Structure 1
Amino acid sequence: MLPTIQRILDLESVRHGLPAVLAGVENIDREVRWVHVAGGSRRGEIVLAAEVPQDSVPWLDRLAETGVAGVIVHASTPIAEEAVRAAQRWGLPLVQLRRETRLLDIVDAVHALVAAGQFEEFRRCEEIHRRFTELSLAGARAATVVSQAAALAKCAVVLENTAHRVLAFEPAGADPAVLDGWESLSRKIVSPGQTGYDHETGWLVARVGAQGQDWGRLLVRCTEPLTRHVILAERAAGVIALDWLARDGEDPQLQAQHTLLESLLEGDVLSSDFAMRAAAMGVPLDRCVLVAAVIRHQPRRDLVRPVREALRDNRQVGFCAALDGVSVGVLLALSPDDDPYDHMGRLADAVHRAGDVIVGVGQPVASVEDVRGALLEAKQVAAAANGVSLPYVRLSDLGLRGLMYLLRDDHRVQAYVERELGPLLEHAELVATLRAYVDSGGNKTDAAAAAHLSRQALYDRLKRAGQLLGADLDAPHVRASLQAALHAFDAIGHS
């Protein structure tokens, strides 16, 4: 990497001159691209001067406006206070060499450092090109590209749409609070052209788009935009644009919501960070009652669009995203005065019209810290609710079925299923008959109707099942045990 001013101050030839940092000490970690002895200068370069000119304040103002990294002055007499104040006003590192030293030795030493740094910078740029070529060939999604960009840049990276809603974010060790009030901040970040740096806010911006149309912006938080940052932002923006072009018609905001909900479920994002990212996506969660739901549907059915339309038609604010191939996650942000179950009932009615679904609902929560638990509960309820005929299902609606689903991974429950049902499990028709019988409470007429069997056929199957199990199926306590085992068997099969 390029040398910093601090690294240059540590050079033997500079230390020989007894350097004193008079101003801008907070910026001595700036990287230096080249060195000039007085004369002209460019952004990122350090200026070596034998003395401070008479017009020291305008001179320093011009250098600061140019964007030089710093100024080193070889002067044995004190530098005027007005010059020091001018440099400090700009945050411009101003260093005085107080003892006689050869400026040429300093120039040679800095050039050697810069040349080594430029080679390292070239190597890093090659790595950036290679990494993003691999991502492009792999068809990487936007969130993956943003994550890789942040890791390479070691800076926070944000992807937003044209409405300034965050689609992906990776802090790379920075404070996630950079997303606080994002929409307002983002509107202040001005970048002319395809790629540019806003010195007021410290964000490097690359436009994301194709075919003459902008779809969003990629923003990299860096104190000084180096060549590798620019290359990285442009390559990342290009890979994201190709991904969006290849997925024409797919809403990037839906993918962003999917990534965020998935991260919450897997514990990869803290609740406070989740709230900030949700707000940056346009869904504020503070001072809200939050209701989580998971809607299970048939494989290969796209239920996201009907659910989104239902949210829009009901004027409900929240997230909606596919969690996997058979379920859609929903998080409603409601006013404390709203009835959460009234809202969930209207949403459930709408999605039931779109197809045969199960709507599992978690307990409403008032704190974002409890959202993950509510979403996990909704997911468990939806998975355990097969056969429950309700518009939406809560954990309290499941009773024994819900308990067995929660305990399905316990080896003792699994052993219980084998002990109670083992000899019967190879005979699917007998399992179905037994299920109808115990669900009817031992009423054989109702069981025969539910199983679509004649009474004699039902009797024959129950007799056979009883023989295999070595149990009296007419005994109520036996039926209760078998019903619990059947619920556990179902839960294990759906885990």
Structure 2
Amino acid sequence: MTTIVEARSGPSRERAGPDAEPAVLERELTGAVLAGAVRADVLRTLVRVTGLQMRMLSAEGVPLATTDGGSGVAATVADEVLAGVAGPVVDTLDGLRATALAVRAGTTVAGVLLTVGTGDPRTRALAGAAVTALLIDAVRAGDGSDEVPPRHTPADVVAALRSGTVSPSVWAAATELGIDLRRPPAGAVLHYSGSRLRAWSTALAWLEHPVQQEARTAWTVVTGEAVLARLRSRLRLMTGDESAGDHVVAASGSHPDSPTGLARSFTEAERLLGLARARGVPLLTFGGGGVLQVLLPLPRAQLQAYVETHLGPIQERPELMATLRAWLAERGSRQSVSEQLHLHRNSVGYRVRQIKNLLGTDPLLPAASAELHLALAALDLLAADDERSRGDDEPV
């Protein structure tokens, strides 16, 4: 079997055949390209070892070299493959299924390598062995690579993740910042309510963590609750508000399945932040949100409808609402509710009877208790959303 090394520089000591190992193939292809082989030679070798046709596309999805004369893919598909949010199986413009592989390293983007057909893991590994060779060829040729300039600041990256628009350049910039978008982190938001606004901005600048700031609020990404707690602790210390924990409040959303899902995670974090501030809680995460995990995705109209259905008869009676919360929290202990609300035990009993009559159920029945807990959480979330929409940011 003739290899591209033989074709360009004489007999080879290593010959990649159908049973080639990816590591051996990578050494052969890299050595061959350094010796003068071009991407068309690389593709022909891949056909021999995989038995499948190959197409090398530009970053825009346009064919640069193919072994079957086939078409490329839509520019949006190529962009998503390079950003890691699409693939490995894609549809070509000529109606075939293909396995796509991003050919890039850092900020150097050579394009997309297509293996026509849905290859098995071994076939994908063999295709991956060609990445280094194709990158070398692209850089040497000067017509098949796009050097992505480091034009995205950390704030730009966070802003792009918040909007769910992850382009290849954003992906590359995120990688340089240590953000692994193959395993997307959670969106997080922090809010400062103290008086040292300049110290807050300075603290964020010195945080050594990608942050987007708008006055009192800052957005970032975190891999877990421990990271968020550490960031909050540092900001408290750096703003001089270490003894006033409620001056820095933090929240984080869920971990999405893909980078585009970060937009939802940031929305969850913002809603949780509003709830944390309303409840006086310094830190609230999606994982620790309990029933809030069910409520966060729901639109406002559905939350309002649920609250009206289960709390409507007493919603405008603040004394009964307070009693219901305490009654549920204390699991029906009249003495505990009496002490908490500073009421006589008989007054607690009278209010509870009113609640039962107006709601038409006993709040302590398991099914009713679950519904009322959920309705109260929905009500809190709506109130937090109202507070967040009013906003209290000031210019720094």
TM-score, with normalisation over the residues of structure 1? Answer: 0.39
Asked which structure has the greater RCO (Cα within 8 Å, sep 6+), the reply is 2
TM-score, with normalisation over the residues of structure 2? Answer: 0.47
